């Protein structure tokens, strides 16, 4: 079984593809365990890499892992190459190593990467999901044939999305969950393979030209075999989890909303109603307009997409606006708003 289905050999899962043009995959990451290629990954933020959870079956000790961005040829140092240490590895809490359900993980880098034309985050998936047959792209340094050596340079291939019914018929409905999908050719010949696990499956938006991440290479029955398409983790199903882990947004906003709810009656009794009908709407409009301007200044690359970076900026603005709340001692968070 390829695609890391055998946990003792997670270096599994581009067959029948071609060499990618240098710099054409600025978000692809080479994840190394003790200096050796173990899995692929994809940059979703300047400090975060998304990959497959099964990649860490052998070791989840951060000190042994490095992430190489801006790399094309693994046999030599590339001009844009940056070797980053792993600061934190977060596998999905519900990852099942037997069924590969929830096969997704995040790696926090020790410091942000330097963004350039050849190093930049991919866009997170947008709704709706692409239709069956949509031509997606996969890439990696994985084996050129099953059980073969890894490729020296980034390889890429076009694989069409398959319907869930087709995928279940090919692989078995008991093996495929709603958080997985298949892509590839039932005729075989083109597929992801050993070393590609954790790598990206992307689709280009023809209107904006941006590439959106829809899948993480997970597992497969062989490599490029007839009737055995590759299986990918459905990224859109984990978008909230990704964002909450990166920015801890849910926890912060929930705390903020709880505090404001408790204060609501008290504040409304003490503040003139014009604050809520005039001043507050103006303040909100100012915050969001400032956020957009700030974000525009930070976008030095035209290809940087909304998503993680945009959300991060809004969180920073909100935190600044309510920083007095964050300074309240935890013991006082349950305070009553009384005179």
* The domain boundary residue, chosen from 218, 240, 262: 240
CATH number of the domain bearing residue 69: 2.40.10.10
Which positions ≥6 away from 151 have C-beta within 8 Å? Answer: 14, 140, 141, 142, 143, 144, 195
178 in any annotated domain: yes
The catalytically annotated residue of 54, 92, 212, 247 is 54
Contact, 52 vs 146, CB < 8 A? Answer: no
pLDDT at 6: 34
338 in any annotated domain: no
Q: Is the pTM of this model over 0.85?
A: no
The catalytically annotated residue of 45, 103, 191, 221 is 103
Number of domain units in the chain: 2
Same domain, 190 and 293: no
Q: What does the angle CA 252 – CA 253 – CA 255 come to, to the nearest 5 degrees? A: 65
CA 264 to mean position of chain CA atoms: 37
Q: In the predicted model, what is the mean pLDDT of the chain?
A: 76
- For residue 103, indicate whether it is catalytic: yes
Same domain, 29 and 79: yes
Same domain, 50 and 176: yes
* The domain boundary residue, chosen from 240, 269, 287: 240
Does 292 score more than 50 pLDDT? Answer: no
Same domain, 42 and 65: yes
The catalytically annotated residue of 46, 197, 212, 221 is 197
Domain that holds residue 149: 18-240
Q: What is the pLDDT of residues 167-212, one digit of tens each?
A: 899 888 788 899 999 998 876 555 455 447 899 999 998 888 899 9
Q: What is the pLDDT of residues 114-149, one digit of tens each?
A: 999 999 999 998 767 889 999 999 998 865 545 556
- For residue 197, indicate whether it is catalytic: yes
324 in any annotated domain: yes
Same domain, 270 and 225: no
* The domain boundary residue, chosen from 212, 240, 268: 240
- For residue 54, indicate whether it is catalytic: yes
Does 43 score more than 50 pLDDT? Answer: yes
């Amino acid at each position: 079984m390829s695609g890391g289905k055998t946990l003792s050999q997670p270096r599994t899962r581009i067959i029948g593809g071609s060499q990618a043009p240098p710099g054409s995959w600025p978000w692809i990451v080479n994840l190394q365990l003790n200096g050796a290629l173990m899995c692929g990954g994809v940059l979703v933020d300047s400090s975060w890499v998304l990959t497959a959870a099964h990649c860490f079956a052998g070791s989840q000790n951060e000190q042994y892992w490095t992430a190489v961005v801006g790399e094309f040829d693994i046999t030599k140092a590339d001009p844009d190459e940056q070797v980053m240490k792993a600061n934190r590895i977060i596998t999905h809490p519900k990852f099942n190593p037997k069924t590969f359900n929830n096969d997704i993980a995040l790696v926090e880098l020790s410091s942000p990467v330097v963004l350039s034309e050849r190093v930049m985050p991919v866009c997170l998936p947008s709704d709706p999901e692409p239709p069956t047959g949509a031509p997606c792209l996969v890439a990696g340094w994985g084996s050129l044939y099953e059980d073969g050596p890894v490729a020296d340079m980034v390889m890429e291939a076009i694989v069409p999305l398959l319907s869930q019914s087709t995928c279940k018929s090919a692989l078995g409905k008991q093996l495929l969950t709603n958080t997985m999908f298949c892509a590839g050719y039932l005729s075989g010949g083109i597929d992801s393979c050993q070393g590609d696990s954790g790598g990206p499956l992307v689709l280009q938006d023809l209107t904006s030209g941006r590439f959106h991440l829809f899948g993480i290479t997970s597992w497969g029955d062989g490599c490029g075999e007839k009737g055995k398409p590759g299986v990918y983790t459905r990224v859109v199903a984990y978008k909230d989890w990704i964002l909450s882990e990166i920015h801890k947004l849910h926890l912060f906003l929930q705390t903020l909303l709880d505090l404001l709810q408790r204060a609501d009656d008290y504040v409304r009794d003490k503040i003139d109603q014009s604050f809520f009908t005039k001043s507050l709407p103006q303040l909100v409009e100012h915050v969001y307009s400032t956020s957009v301007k700030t974000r525009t200044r930070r976008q030095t690359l035209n290809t940087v997409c909304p998503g993680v970076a945009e959300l991060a900026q809004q969180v920073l603005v909100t935190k600044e606006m309510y920083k007095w709340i964050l300074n309240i001692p935890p013991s006082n968070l349950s305070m009553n708003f009384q005179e």
